[in-house]
Amino acid sequence: MKIRSLMLVCAIVVMTACAGTSSPVSPSSSSSAAPVAAPSSSIQATINSVLSSLVGAINSTKNQSQTKSIAPSAGLTDRALFVEPRFITTCNANTGVCQVNESFEQREGCLSGGYSSVTSQLTGSINANGGTLNWSSHTSLVDCSSGGWVTNSTPYLSAGGTLGLFAQRTTVNLTLGGGFLVTNAPGTPNGRSECNFSGVLLQWDSTSGSWSNSGSVICTPGGTFKF
């Protein structure tokens, strides 16, 4: 599966606050500094990391699969594009229909501390002609640090949809949801951007070998990242 990186851009929004000059301001009513947006590069790096982990989970689910002994009678082993699941709950040698239930977990350390993890599950049924399997996954970011900025998912990023697996064609259709919070390192508390996925749809087709995506990630402050 060929993966193409997504180049995303956004506008940085910086908010300022002004104190009144007509009279002294008491400590109890003083204005706090407005949050400063996280750099676009930090937000983009988080988005690309989430997409990379998701694609890696899909590829690993396929590549690490092992053929069950019943699979040859279902006509699966001679199909290069087929997923050969590690966990086939039932497989009917007469009809050639196999039920799939496969899971994947991965955890990676971030550049300057913290970690990201992804868990996924692939379920459904396939036969000698192919089939459409259901995909669901959750990505968590825990104190993931880089360049002085710390990212946490709120509470996780989800991906759900289908993988179409056929003799001459593979398709991916996934909807992404959830969000993440990017904050400054301890000691500089004003840096803060809250980001949420909005209408994000990822589509891949082996016929074209490229992604066709839509939706955006909206960050406050920070701007909008289009897919």
Q: What is the mean pLDDT of the chain?
A: 74
Domain for residue 155, yes or no?
A: yes
Q: How many residues does the chain have?
A: 227
Domain for residue 139, yes or no?
A: yes
Compute the distance between CA of residue 183 and CA of residue 190 in angstroms, rounded to an integer: 8
Q: Which of 32, 45, 39 is nearest to 13 (CA)?
A: 39
Domain for residue 208, yes or no?
A: yes
Q: What is the pLDDT of residue 200?
A: 95
Task: Provide mean pLDDT across the span 173-192.
Answer: 87
Specify whether the CB–CB gap between 180 and 144 falls below 8 A: no
Domain for residue 14, yes or no?
A: no
pLDDT one-digit tens code per residue, 31-71: 456 778 888 989 998 998 888 888 888 877 655 443 333 33
For residue 111, give its domain range.
34-65+79-226
DSSP letters, 172-222, are EEEEEEEEEEEEEPTT-TTBEEEEEEEEEEEEEETTTTEE--EEEEEEETT
Domain for residue 207, yes or no?
A: yes
Using a pLDDT cut of 90, give the percent of the chain over it.
33
Domain for residue 174, yes or no?
A: yes
pLDDT one-digit tens code per residue, 189-202: 688 999 999 999 99
pLDDT one-digit tens code per residue, 121-177: 888 888 777 888 899 999 999 999 988 899 999 999 999 999 888 878 888 999 999
Query: How many distinct structural domains can be found in the chain?
Result: 1
Domain for residue 20, yes or no?
A: no
Whether 74 has a pLDDT exceeding 70, the answer reads no
Domain for residue 128, yes or no?
A: yes
Using a pLDDT cut of 70, give the percent of the chain over it.
69
C-alpha distances in Å from residue 180, one per residue of 76, 149, 227: 40, 12, 17
Q: Is the pTM of this model over 0.85?
A: no
Q: What is the pLDDT of residue 156?
A: 93
